[in-house]
């Protein structure tokens, strides 16, 4: 990977936050990682990771490059799987995201902005990746709260 986009502070921060999310789930057992809080709309750590993997590829490939990556967004929020499987998914998603970014001109306009998503940040591929950072950061926070509630005193975080 030789592109400057992959080495940009934005991409490095996206990967840092993604890695923090993966690390959080990797430190949980299968039951805890798949636990959903008793609150409507709550998601497990696994579901949040699966969703972030889908979101990363949608925006980095389908939107920025015009190379469609199949995705079932609804299924992301009902996913259950062992932590070992999550780690395989995240490794392949991370590598594919980096490959996408390696082909991306950050200043260029995205190839396939979804209808109805003409937000201020969709004017450039860099803006689209800023949205990826926003999504991962938001869901990292959700996962931290879920972990803390599920594990209680065992989480090591207060």
Exposure string (b/e) for 43-77, b if CB count within 10 Å is 16 or more? bbbbbbbbbbbbbbbbbbbbbbbeeebebeeeebb
Domain covering 5-155 assigned CATH 1.10.10.1100 in the classification: no
Cβ-Cβ contacts under 8 Å for 8 (sequence gap 6 or more): 106, 126
Query: Is residue 1 very low, low, confident or very high in pLDDT (cuts 50, 70, 90)?
Result: very low
Helices (H) and strands (E) in the chain, counts: 6, 0
Return the domain boundaries, the chain: 5-155
Q: How many whole angstroms separate alpha carbon 38 and alpha carbon 55?
A: 25
Has residue 4 got a pLDDT over 80?
no
Q: How many whole angstroms separate alpha carbon 23 and alpha carbon 137?
A: 14
Has residue 76 got a pLDDT over 70?
yes
């Amino acid at each position: 990977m030789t592109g400057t986009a992959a080495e940009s502070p934005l991409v490095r921060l996206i990967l840092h936050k993604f890695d923090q999310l993966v690390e959080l789930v990797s430190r949980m057992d299968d039951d805890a990682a798949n636990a959903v809080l008793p609150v409507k709309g709550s998601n497990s750590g696994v579901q949040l990771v699966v969703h972030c993997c889908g979101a990363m590829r949608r925006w980095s490939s389908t939107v920025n490059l015009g190379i469609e990556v199949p995705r079932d967004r609804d299924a992301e929020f009902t996913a259950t799987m062992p932590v070992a499987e999550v780690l395989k998914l995240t490794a392949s998603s991370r590598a594919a995201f980096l490959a996408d970014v390696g082909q991306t001109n950050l200043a260029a306009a995205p190839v396939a902005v979804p209808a109805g998503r003409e937000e201020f940040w969709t004017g450039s591929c860099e803006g689209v990746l800023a949205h990826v950072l926003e999504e991962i950061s938001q869901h990292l926070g959700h996962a931290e709260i879920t972990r803390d509630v599920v594990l209680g005193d065992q989480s090591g975080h207060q």
